[in-house]
Every structure is written in C-alpha cells, then in structure tokens.
C-alpha cells in the first residue's frame, strides 16, 4: 500500500475496466467493473495534492477530494469515507453518474498537464462501496429529536439530500412524491447501466430506517393534497419537484405516431426493468426492438436514450445533433460509451420534418454550420442550403431538454413567485421562496441540471430551513 503521493510520474492513469461493448449491449447492468483496493490506492497516489485544488473548486458540493485521495492511498479507508460523506449525502451516486470529465477530473492539474487525470469518480464509488461492505454506513439517526417537522415535495436527489441533512439535525421529515417509488429521476430517468436501482433503494432504505416518512402516489394541489394543508402540517416546506415538462419538437410531422418524449421512453424502460406492467412498452410503442431509432438532442438525456435503444435491440440508432461534438452539452465520456456500443452520430445536423403518413417513417434533416455566438456565448447553428438528407426512423425520440411546470397554478398559490423562465424565484442565497416558510431546491430553481447540483441545493436548503425554524423558535421564546 503506497504512502507517497505524486506517483503520476511512475503510474499511468488507469480507469476501471469496462465490460466489453458486445456484452453490455445485452443488458442494463452497470458497465464498469469496480476498482480492486490496490488499484484504487495506486490511482489515488497519483494525486499532486495541489495547493489550489481545482478538482475541489469545480465540484458542486466542494468535496475534499485531495484529502480522501491521500487517505485511500494510505489505506485509511474509514477516514476516507468520513471525509467523502462530510460534503456529499450520496457519494455512491455521484461517483457513478457525475460527468467528472466536465467537473473535477476535467479540471485536475494532471489532466491539464497531459499526464491524465486522477480517476476521481471511480475512487469515490470505491470508497463508498467499501464503506457499505464494512458496515460503516448507518441510518442518519439524530442524537436529539426536535419537535418541528418539515414536508418535502419531491423524492428526487434534491429532496432526498435535504431529508438526510434535516433528519441528522433531528427534524421530523416527510417526503411526498407522486410516483410509486422514491428516487425521482434516479429511479425513473437514469438507466440502470449508469445507476443500478439497488443503489438508490439502499439509500432510501437507510433514510426510512432513520425515521424519514415517505408518502408515495401523493400529488400536491388540484385533486390531491392541498398546498395550504401541507403548509399547515409542517413548520417548513421544501419544493424539490424537478422539471419534467419536455420541450417540444416544432417541425412538420412532430405529432405522428412513433414520435415520443425522452422521459416517456426512459420511464417505460426503467419501469419494465423494475418488473412493472407497462402497456405502452408491451404493445411495442415504447420498445425500440427491431426499429430504426433517431434521437434528437445532444445532452445526457439523449445519451441515455440512444444507449437504452441499443440495449432494446433496435435495428439502428442515430443521434441527430445540430452542433459539433465539442459543443454538445452532454458528457464526452457518455458519447464514447455510446460509440463503442454502436450508436451512430450525425453531428452538425438538425431536423426539418418527421416523415410519414399516420406514423413516422423517417426524419428529413439538413446540415448546419456554426455562426456567430448568441447571448449565452455559444455559436448559433445556421442551416446550409441544399444539404438535406433523410434518415430512416420508425421511432423518433425528442431529447430537447425540460422546462418547469406551472408551479403557482399546480399548487393554487398565485403568490409563489417564478422567474421569467418559470423556475421558482428565491430570496437571495437562503433557498427561501416568496411564501413564508416555503423553500425550494434543485432543478425547479436552477432549471434542468446535474444530479450533483440538486444534491448541493438540497443540502443548502436543509441548512436554510434549520436556520429559519430555529430563528422562529428563538423569537417565540423571547
């Protein structure tokens, strides 16, 4: 076991072994094999222990990465686990699904100096799985119980992270979710080859053992539980619903049979994998088997769709994206996995129409070039005249991103302020909304984003809720 760091001059970068592409195309199991202890220690010892840790700076939850790399290299695994979990409620999840190539690993000094980044994500996963195996991870049972309670709307990563931190502080916590399982997109949106559902279920079980109450199949507002009643039940409420309203495809033929929203497709696949009855999958509508599939979009959701279609034994799978590879919003690592598994990419191409009579038979597209930058700083795709081409497609999946639902309308709360984009407006950094005692976290605040940002927001919201409740208690006592 190494006790010295800066071993990058002696040890090359080594990522965990991946199962062969031909093998992993046939199932939804996770694609990477776990590190062995010696591998994890060796790769950890490559860290430079930088005076300015750019990996930590670019981590949304500010993980103490150099510290736990040193501890792993020295074989001090229980301390490594303590350091890892101090800043992140769910390191085993982030180690699997974070786009490390865009965050910590992409900013590693070794990566910038062409020595190859430290494999931070794989080591984070290794630390947590080792901790689970050793029995070090216990339910977050508080030392002291508080009389106050918090209601959390949404059982996804932001809501669960807040539930973990609030329960540790002794609050009674109830999580309300409209689905029949807790986990949100971790369960229904992200495919099993990226995140095994047992990993999420294990964490939810720990929270339940700690005393967190989970109420599933509960909608808030409308014919469900009134938002006013929710506020009356609890001393504070956290809205962590995520954003699920799919952006539409605005071309002729977008309404044909065979054109589906990405989330509808992924939820059907995940439910089928969980053993649920899924009529839209069983009748073939949301099953890609034997079909020519075109996925429109270039984000991580698009990568989830193309890789799911491959595993469903589609005839062909093509990703159509209007910018080039360097400008796509999704993880380059995911693109590489998709290419290995047989996905075809049509870069710099945008759809003009979905072809067909009653049902889709193809997508007409044309080539693009990148013009001047828009207000976001990204170059705007511009069509190239006379560059049209057609792709065969009897299944077209729209992976164009997500917008927030009308939360004030859904909850019957017109005083709940939103931004111009429809996300919930916050009062500065406090995570507080315009309603007293109501807070918000995750995608419903920042728009569709990464799971790690949702975890960060949930943890921050727990701190803000604690300050709010204790402030009221002090004021009442004076």
H helical segments located in 45-108? 54-57, 65-73, 77-87, 91-97
- Asked if 282 and 211 sit in the same domain, the reply is no
Whether residue 271 is contained in a domain is answered as yes
pLDDT category of residue 429 using cuts at 50, 70 and 90: confident
- Asked if 370 and 410 sit in the same domain, the reply is no
- Asked if 109 and 227 sit in the same domain, the reply is no
Between the two ends of the chain, the Cα-to-Cα distance in Å is 58
| Token pair of 197 as six digits | 């559902």
With contact defined as beta carbons under 8 Å apart, do 444 and 404 qualify? Answer: yes
What is the distance between the alpha carbons of residues 242 and 336, in angstroms, rounded to a whole number? 28
Of 375, 398, 421, the last residue of a domain is: 398
Whether residue 279 is contained in a domain is answered as yes
Of 103, 134, 165, the last residue of a domain is: 134
pLDDT at 122: 96
Whether residue 140 is contained in a domain is answered as no
With contact defined as beta carbons under 8 Å apart, do 42 and 11 qualify? Answer: yes
What is the distance between the alpha carbons of residues 478 and 471, in angstroms, rounded to a whole number? 11
With contact defined as beta carbons under 8 Å apart, do 234 and 422 qualify? Answer: no
With contact defined as beta carbons under 8 Å apart, do 286 and 264 qualify? Answer: yes
pLDDT at 428: 77
- Asked if 63 and 118 sit in the same domain, the reply is yes
- Asked if 252 and 370 sit in the same domain, the reply is yes
- Asked if 228 and 290 sit in the same domain, the reply is no
Query: Tokens 């980044």 map to which residue?
Result: 117
Question: Residue 451: pLDDT above 60?
Answer: yes
Of 398, 433, 454, the last residue of a domain is: 398
With contact defined as beta carbons under 8 Å apart, do 127 and 84 qualify? Answer: yes
Question: Residue 2: pLDDT above 80?
Answer: no
**φ, ψ for residue 250, nearest 5 deg:** -105, 65
For 326-374, the pLDDT digits (tens) are 888 888 999 999 999 999 999 999 999 999 999 999 999 999 999 888 8
What is the distance between the alpha carbons of residues 313 and 257, in angstroms, rounded to a whole number? 20
CATH of the domain at 437: 3.50.50.60
List C-alpha distances in Å: 180 to 176, 216, 273, 276, 410: 10, 5, 15, 11, 20
| Maximum Cα interatomic distance, the chain, rounded to a whole number of Å | 76
Sign of the Cα pseudo-torsion (275, 279, 285, 291, in order):
positive
Whether residue 190 is contained in a domain is answered as yes
pLDDT category of residue 40 using cuts at 50, 70 and 90: very high
What is the distance between the alpha carbons of residues 240 and 225, in angstroms, rounded to a whole number? 16
Task: Give the mean pLDDT of the chain.
Answer: 95
What is the distance between the alpha carbons of residues 363 and 346, in angstroms, rounded to a whole number? 12
pLDDT category of residue 135 using cuts at 50, 70 and 90: very high
For 85-112, the pLDDT digits (tens) are 999 999 999 999 999 999 999 999 998 8
- Percent of the chain exceeding pLDDT 90 equals 91
List C-alpha distances in Å: 39 to 2, 75, 347: 11, 12, 37
Its domain, for residue 223, covers 149-243+404-477
Minimum mean pLDDT range among 44-48, 114-118, 122-126: 114-118
- Asked if 255 and 119 sit in the same domain, the reply is no
pLDDT at 3: 67
Tell me, yes or no, if the pTM score tops 0.85: yes
Question: Residue 141: pLDDT above 70?
Answer: yes
Contacts of 104 (CB under 8 A, 6+ apart): 55, 56, 58, 59, 63, 65, 98, 120, 121
Structural domains of the chain, count: 3
For 46-89, the pLDDT digits (tens) are 999 998 999 999 999 999 999 999 999 999 999 999 999 999 99
- Asked if 390 and 262 sit in the same domain, the reply is yes
CATH of the domain at 22: 1.10.1060.10
Question: Residue 224: pLDDT above 60?
Answer: yes
Whether residue 473 is contained in a domain is answered as yes
- Asked if 166 and 290 sit in the same domain, the reply is no
Whether residue 144 is contained in a domain is answered as no
What is the distance between the alpha carbons of residues 100 and 87, in angstroms, rounded to a whole number? 17
Whether residue 139 is contained in a domain is answered as no
pLDDT at 113: 84
- Asked if 282 and 393 sit in the same domain, the reply is yes
- Asked if 272 and 305 sit in the same domain, the reply is yes
């Amino acid at each position: 076991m190494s006790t010295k760091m800066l071993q990058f001059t002696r040890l090359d970068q080594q990522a965990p072994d991946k199962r062969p592409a031909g093998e992993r195309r046939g199932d939804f199991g996770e694609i990477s094999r776990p590190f062995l202890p010696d591998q994890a220690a060796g790769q950890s010892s490559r860290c430079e222990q930088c005076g300015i840790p750019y990996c930590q700076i670019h981590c949304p939850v500010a993980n103490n990465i150099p510290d736990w790399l040193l501890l792993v290299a020295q074989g001090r695994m229980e301390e490594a686990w303590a350091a890892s979990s101090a800043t992140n409620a769910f390191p085993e999840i982030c180690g699997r699904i974070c786009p490390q190539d865009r965050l910590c690993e992409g900013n590693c000094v070794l990566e910038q100096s062409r020595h190859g980044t430290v494999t931070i994500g794989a080591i984070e996963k290794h630390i947590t799985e080792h901790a689970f195996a050793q029995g070090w991870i216990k339910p977050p049972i508080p030392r002291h119980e508080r009389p106050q309670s918090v209601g959390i709307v949404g059982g996804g990563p932001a809501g669960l992270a807040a539930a973990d931190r609030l329960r540790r502080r002794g609050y009674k916590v109830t999580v309300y979710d409209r689905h029949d399982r807790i986990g949100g997109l971790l369960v229904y949106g992200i495919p099993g080859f990226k995140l095994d559902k047992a990993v999420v279920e294990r964490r939810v079980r720990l929270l339940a053992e700690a005393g967190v109450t989970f109420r599933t199949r509960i909608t808030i507002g409308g014919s469900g539980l009134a938002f006013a009643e929710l506020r009356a039940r609890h001393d504070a409420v956290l809205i962590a619903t995520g954003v699920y309203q799919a952006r539409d495809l605005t071309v002729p033929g977008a309404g044909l049979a065979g054109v589906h929203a990405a989330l509808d497709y992924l939820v059907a696949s995940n439910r089928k994998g969980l053993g649920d009855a899924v009529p839209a999958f069983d009748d073939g509508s949301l099953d890609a088997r034997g079909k020519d599939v075109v996925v429109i979009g270039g984000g991580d959701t698009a990568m989830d769709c193309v890789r799911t279609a491959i595993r469903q034994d589609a005839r062909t799978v093509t990703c159509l994206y209007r910018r080039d590879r360097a400008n796509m919003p999704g993880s380059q690592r995911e693109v590489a996995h998709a290419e290995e598994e047989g996905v075809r990419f049509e870069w710099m191409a945008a759809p003009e129409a979905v072809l067909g009579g009653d049902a889709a038979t193809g997508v007409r597209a044309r080539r693009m070039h990148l013009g001047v930058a828009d207000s976001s700083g990204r170059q705007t795709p511009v069509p190239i005249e006379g560059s049209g081409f057609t792709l065969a497609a009897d299944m077209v999946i729209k992976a164009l991103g997500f917008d927030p639902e009308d939360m004030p309308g859904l909850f019957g709360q017109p005083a709940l302020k939103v931004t111009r984009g429809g996300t919930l407006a916050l009062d500065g950094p406090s995570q507080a909304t315009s309603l007293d005692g109501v807070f918000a976290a995750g995608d419903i605040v920042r728009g569709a984003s990464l799971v790690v940002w949702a975890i960060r927001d949930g943890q921050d919201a727990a701190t803000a809720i604690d300050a709010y409740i204790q402030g009221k208690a002090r004021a009442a006592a004076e």
